[in-house]
Structure 1
Amino acid sequence: MKPNYSLKKLKELSKRYARARRVPLHQGRDIVATTLEFSHWNEVMKAHRAGWSPTKAQLSRVENMFIDLLPANESSRSESGSYIEALIFEEDVQHGKIEGHEYQLTVSLGDVHMCGTGWHLHVPEAPNKAPRLEIAKQIEHEAPVNEARFQHQALEIALKRAEQERAGIASDWPRRTTMPDKQGVVRHPINGTEEKIWYCLHCDSSITGEQIANSLWHCPSCAASPLDIHENAWWLEDSDTEAKPLSDADIQRRPDLVVDVRDTRLKLDLNPEKITLLIRSALIEDASNASERLGALYAEINVHEDNDVWITFDEDLWPEGKDPVSALAVAALLGIRVEQEVCLRELPFAWPALGEHTFSTVEYTEIMLKAYADQRADKPIE
């Protein structure tokens, strides 16, 4: 690695470290200098001008510092060399073990999800929302996650990953979003607006620039997302309510772990919407041509309080006397009764019998359009 390239990468890393830790740039560079065994960054620059370049051991120490701080996709080691030489991206799922028991760790929209056999630990991105551990009731007395020590280790891993994710977000955002100026002005990470007082749409809190920057733009009171943080309380303009200034004492910290034991087995809840969906799907399966398929889609399906079904067909789209065999079979499996009737309704297309000659919707549409074209006002009557 060329000396000038080494210095360039070290500057880049110190800048990202300062953003991730939300500290001034000179502090980030001094920390990197200390890791390289210099007293401060100026000594690094002097040594560089004299021909110095970092050793592999020194680069490895800087790399390890970033592995502990940043998410894996920003700090993973490359098989071919150091992180400083080449960045690689992590796989979507990280695997590990706690006391011999395997777990998977993923991040979705800033939230950390840690899963094992019969349990799921969720750490929200917002720093003042409680982590929640869900344990399957059916293995409640067998799962190792019931033990306090296991829970503590799992939570420690998930919280560290959450902090890494927050550091990665901070390092990607513009500097002014996480570091207020002397007047306390900060920049919104999404719309770019700069103000020193901000307002939460959810709880009507008035938040200082330093408070909102420290919480990475989640409301320090109610944990609302950055999308709900605005430069003015426009929703209060026509009301008697005023925004409430948020004191530092009111800022919520990360609550303790919430443990929720529940039966996670899937259960079928047969409501009218789901019954209608299954019955209509079966009616489409019973259709033998395009006209009957339209009849299946156009049929009126009513589900009564006891879940019994009443189907009303249009007599021009569904043949009288034709039993919907598949729909009746589905109803029998669900343990419900089906009543049928036929009536005349206003149809969306003329000549419903045209669809009896094809099963293809494309072909039916072509035939229908041709029939309509024959009815044009400018077409001569033969």
Structure 2
Amino acid sequence: MRFHYFICTFIFLRFKKGFQEVEEDYLDNMLGMPTRFSFEELKNVTKNFSNKLGEGGFGSIFQGTLPSGSEVAVKHLVGFGPVNKSFMTEVQTIGSIHHFNLVSLIGFCAQKFNRLLVYEYMANGSLDRWIFNKNRDLALGWQIRKKIILDIAKGLAYLHEDCNQKIVHLDIKPQNILLDEHFNAKVSDFGLSKLIGKDQSRVITTMRGTPGYMAPEWLSSVITEKVDVYSFGIVVLEILCGRRNVDESQLEEDRHLLGLFKRKQEEGQLMDLVDKCSDDMQSNAAEVVKMMKVAAWCVQTEHARRPSMPIVVKLFEGSVDVAGNLNEDFQNGLTPEAMETFASIVLPCLLSGPR
């Protein structure tokens, strides 16, 4: 029995080592890859992971400084085995694309079970800390908000139309929009991204994303880049209104921003929704309302009625006008409550189906 145990252990270790060597060779031979770091190098860069910036998709993020003096953000992925699809996807995807409004992947580490990604450092952190902060001293002015919205639109337009393959982010939300020292906005966290061939209009995938930002079609599992357009529309409204799409602290009738938006639109009082912490929003009412209407177009219930992100960029830059007869057919998408209903009704049916 002991002899069999040792034989099995030996085979397992050889198998495990083989997997690691295959992955190491694969990564080494990939063209156009960013810089590869050893785990020890990144321990030194981050001073033994001492300055934690926060939690991101799949792991914790730490601030570090390269030997050149450049500051970086190091994402330490946790809980993964030697071969991981998420890690491969993120390295391949971000390493092959370059755009000013996308967070740059500088390097990575793939050493045994250690998985780390090295990004450019964004001094002003994530968008949510600015738009949901009620401290008037930290309130963003109209010009900065407008620029951030256009930056996000340009980043998504590049992902959807200008890459060799469409890249659908699948988790657009304020936490995944990072700001540099000049408040340039960049889309981050491609850990959930999905590649779609240019000749494909849709891809079937498992449900993913963040409740409150997920388009209604997630329930049907028919996914196109228009799920990002929906999420973008929600983020635009949050930037303009200075509140979350689903805010449990509000009265029940005001809890969902889209419902409140529709009511204010019918009453002709859209400017009632804008962030009161910003002093110059009211003086730019025409531009603010235009952006609100673009956001409403982006969150149409039927995905085919939503604009593409390149069209959104043109709308914001003024080369295309917003449709005058804009349909108000939009709904809250997958809120936390909707997700709970889905889990309690649909999932048990799936689990009880034929094996």
TM bucket normalised to smaller: under 0.3
Q: Which has the higher contact order (CA 8 A, sep 6+)?
A: 2
Instruction: Select the structure of larger CA radius of gyration.
Output: 1
TM-score normalised to the size of structure 1?
Answer: 0.20
TM-score normalised to the size of structure 2?
Answer: 0.21
